[in-house]
Structure 1
Amino acid sequence: MTLSKTLPASVMRRGLFKLAVSVGVLCGAGLSWAGVTLPGPVVDSAWLAANLDKVQVFEVRANVKSFTGAPEFETDAKSGKKTLVEVGGHIPGSRLMDTKPLRVDRKIGELTVKYMIPEGPAFEKVMQAMGVDADKPIVLVPLGLDMTDLDDALRAHWQLKVYGEDNMAVLDGGMANWLLEGRAHSSEAATARQGSWKVKADRSAQYMADSQAVADAVAAKSGSVVDGRDLRSFHGLAKRDYVHAAGHIPGAKVLPPELLNRPVAGGAVKLQSTATYRALVAALGIDADKPAIAYCNSGHLASGPWFVMSELLGMRNARLYDGSMHQWTLEKRPVEGAIPLQ
């Protein structure tokens, strides 16, 4: 006797639907697709080297010329040790993800806010033009010489996450560490290729905060507002030209870039361990059990604290304020903590 003869068609359809959903949930939880399981939101170079044929690799670069350049090393005359001073080239078979099209001007009320995430349809077109395919794991590769480089990849990760992508990871240490380990690299030019990636969902409400959400969090003291800038900017001793007031958002905690990475011998930087991050946020007064909103000058450096809190520490209510201090001060909202320059 077959199952189809013993159960009504409607029950069969519901059962098959539940099975499909269960499989999808399990695959998402394990980060497993098409025969390869991503270890998590971060992969190391050994894992990537062993799985290059199973993933799509994208070099996230603000300096696109470096994709076809040659790496530059300095050698210490006494010790003979090499230090990487400029990243050049890319992992063989990887593609270029230029950071410039990833951020756009957006109209918010009467104001034009710079450096924002594109709206879904526009972002989808950008990803397709860069050759990103659907349903294949994505590994994002930063330059890896400093935290700003890492944040280029972490920002791309956040944007993909906002639009429903979970099938991805970031290469720890980036291209810099790859080169320092003596792994193969290429200087071939990128070739144009249309990808098939599509927006899977709009999760802006889950991962993105606007000015009002930040103002509400400040007023209610309902969680942490986390400043991802350097200490000089946090204390108002320096500011970018597109930020219109010095200091920081009232009540903000600071998680500066220099604390988010550790140097690797030879010139690269890597992320800290999860245990280190957990102790670090506790020491800085950030409650991992409460909501958190990361911000910086324009939403770039904030990608580091957001990634640590959301992806590594599992803080489910961690969001990124995309407009950051640029939008906050355009709107003439209050700032505090600016140390006077005399």
Structure 2
Amino acid sequence: MHQTLISAADLTAHIDDPAWVVVDCRHDLMNLAAGRGAYASGHLPGAVFADIETVLSGAKNGADGVFLGRHPLPDKDALAEALRDFGIDDTTQVVAYDAHGGMFAARLWWLLRWLGHEAVAVLDGGMAAWEAAGQPLTTEVRTRPRGSFSVRAPFVPTVTVREVLDNLESGKRIVIDARAADRYRGENETIDPVGGHIPGAKNRFFKDNLGPDGRFKDAAQLREELGALIDDPAAAIMQCGSGVTACHNLLALEVAGLPGAALYPGSWSEWVGDPARPVAKGAN
């Protein structure tokens, strides 16, 4: 069972295994049709496509009309239905990939763990690693038998905006922001019209988890780097712009052998939805 990362070589050995499902998670936050278009142009053999906006995220507003962020968590039952359509069973080994260093694939990795599924991994290095290994792409879309995926107890914790707000007073937990430094400091109004970060939050850009080759740094290096920020993973909260790239830091923590951190799903986009919530700017 692969539970964090998988190499292109290991995936190659199982690419036609009916007990494995490969999921293409490519996306572009500035062009929402780009992921599906890229999939149609060429994808890993047998891969299905999971759209970040419509499958791996839920409604942006709650039943009470309150804004929940740009990519709230999907309804668990709706996500489970989509996974069954992908041919995923409770025993299926799932492999997620993208072409963006794992920033979107990690979202599916985390979501499956949220639904109680352990056998899920991210293709280390993504499409670039697959092609560098001399492996083919295809435009063929295979039909898979419908799966029998069931929702079970989650392996991963979450926190609400209320808990993050309460933590400003208690200071019991550390908040780690996965956005780029300019967004964290409040200097990129194109992406974050209300710039800055949650007071007290520390910055760990998700790309810092990767080496020059686009693959994740090894466990020892990640443990050293992340351990310098986080004393106790169980007291850590991961957030980003909308709860997507924060999953990359959560995956890095798992690779490092530092499990237990929580995701704040609404992240910055939900936080600034209420102007009464405080905002900090600049380096922390």
Superposition TM-score tier, normalisation by shorter sequence? 0.7 to 0.9
Alpha-carbon contact 1:291-1:315 (below 8 Å) kept: no
For residue 186 of structure 2, what is the aligned residue in structure 1? 236
Q: Which one of the candidate residues 123, 126, 146 is aligned to 1:194? A: 146
**In 1, Cα distance between equivalents of 2:73 and 2:233:** 27
In 2 relative to 1, CA 191–290 (structure 1 residues): closer, same or farther, beyond 3 Å? Answer: closer
**In 1, Cα distance between equivalents of 2:39 and 2:142:** 8
- Say whether residues 1:138 and 2:99 are aligned partners: no
For residue 217 of structure 2, what is the aligned residue in structure 1? 272
For residue 335 of structure 1, what is the aligned residue in structure 2? 279
User: TM-score, normalising length from structure 1?
Assistant: 0.72
Alpha-carbon contact 2:23-2:50 (below 8 Å) kept: yes
> 2:132 is aligned with what amino acid?
L
- Relative CO higher for 1 or 2, CA cutoff 8 Å, sep ≥ 6? 2
- Say whether residues 1:306 and 2:260 are aligned partners: no
For residue 221 of structure 1, what is the aligned residue in structure 2? 171
For residue 179 of structure 1, what is the aligned residue in structure 2? 131
1:73-222 superposed matches below 5 A: 89-101=42-54, 102-105=56-59, 106-107=61-62, 109-113=64-68, 114-143=70-99, 146-147=100-101, 150-191=102-143, 194-202=146-154, 206-222=156-172
Alpha-carbon contact 2:86-2:144 (below 8 Å) kept: yes
For residue 47 of structure 1, what is the aligned residue in structure 2? 10
Unaligned 5+ runs, structure 2: 28-34
Residue aligned with 2:131, SS? helix
**In 1, Cα distance between equivalents of 2:63 and 2:178:** 23
Q: CA offsets per residue over residues 178-209 of structure 1, 9 Å max, x none?
A: 11121133221354753322212356xx4211
For residue 75 of structure 1, what is the aligned residue in structure 2? none
Identity %: 27
Number of residue-to-residue matches in the alignment? 270
In 2 relative to 1, CA 142–155 (structure 1 residues): closer, same or farther, beyond 3 Å? Answer: same
In 2 relative to 1, CA 263–316 (structure 1 residues): closer, same or farther, beyond 3 Å? Answer: closer
**In 1, Cα distance between equivalents of 2:259 and 2:63:** 27
Give the CA deviation at 1:153. Answer: 0.6
**In 1, Cα distance between equivalents of 2:92 and 2:12:** 16
> 1:308 is aligned with what amino acid?
A
In 2 relative to 1, CA 289–296 (structure 1 residues): closer, same or farther, beyond 3 Å? Answer: closer
Give the CA deviation at 1:273. Answer: 1.1
For residue 318 of structure 1, what is the aligned residue in structure 2? 261
For residue 5 of structure 1, what is the aligned residue in structure 2? none
In 2 relative to 1, CA 66–279 (structure 1 residues): closer, same or farther, beyond 3 Å? Answer: same
- Say whether residues 1:249 and 2:198 are aligned partners: yes
Q: CA offsets per residue over residues 222-261 of structure 1, 9 Å max, x none?
A: 13100000000111101455x5632110111100133121
Out of 52-61 and 272-281, give the one that drifted further. 52-61
Alpha-carbon contact 2:96-2:120 (below 8 Å) kept: yes
Runs of 4 or more consecutive aligned structure 1 residues displaced over 6 Å after TM superposition = none
Alpha-carbon contact 1:223-1:287 (below 8 Å) kept: no
> 2:211 is aligned with what amino acid?
R
Give the CA deviation at 1:99. Answer: 2.3
Q: Which has the higher helix share?
A: 1
What is the root-mean-square deviation of aligned Cα atoms in Å? 2.2
Give the CA deviation at 1:306. Answer: 1.7
Alpha-carbon contact 2:9-2:133 (below 8 Å) kept: no
Give the CA deviation at 1:289. Answer: 5.1
Residue aligned with 2:212, SS? strand
User: TM-score, normalising length from structure 2?
Assistant: 0.86
Q: Which has the higher strand share?
A: 1
Q: CA offsets per residue over residues 241-288 of structure 1, 9 Å max, x none?
A: 5x5632110111100133121232xxxx211111111121234x3224
In 2 relative to 1, CA 121–200 (structure 1 residues): closer, same or farther, beyond 3 Å? Answer: same
Higher Rg: 1
Residue aligned with 2:95, SS? strand
Q: CA offsets per residue over residues 126-181 of structure 1, 9 Å max, x none?
A: 222333333221111222xx33xx11110111111111111111110112211112
Out of 317-326 and 126-135, give the one that drifted further. 126-135
